[in-house]
Amino acid sequence: MNWNDVDKFKVLQNQEAEEYVEHFPVDVSHFDLIKSLGQGSFGQVFLVRKNQGYDANQPYALKVIAKKRIAMDRKSIVNTVSER
């Protein structure tokens, strides 16, 4: 993956995303796996494409976090939940 690919990712505004998710909950079945982008300390990041909804066909980065690898201290939990 190169930096030009990164420019193609669409980022929803927080309010739009919250309203959309309230009415149309999103889960992993709404995405098609394209390729693995990398591995981090908590999990792996994949390039995916949304397969339904108003943003169908848009590429996204999907991070899959291994819960057992997250240290259960307050700082790690806050950092993980707030990560975008």
List, as residue ranges, the binding site for ATP.
Answer: 68
Return binding residues. Answer: 68
44 close to 35: Cβ distance less than 8 angstroms: no
Closest CA to 49 of 63, 70, 35: 35
CA distances from 74 to 15, 34, 36, 42, 69 (A): 26, 34, 29, 16, 14
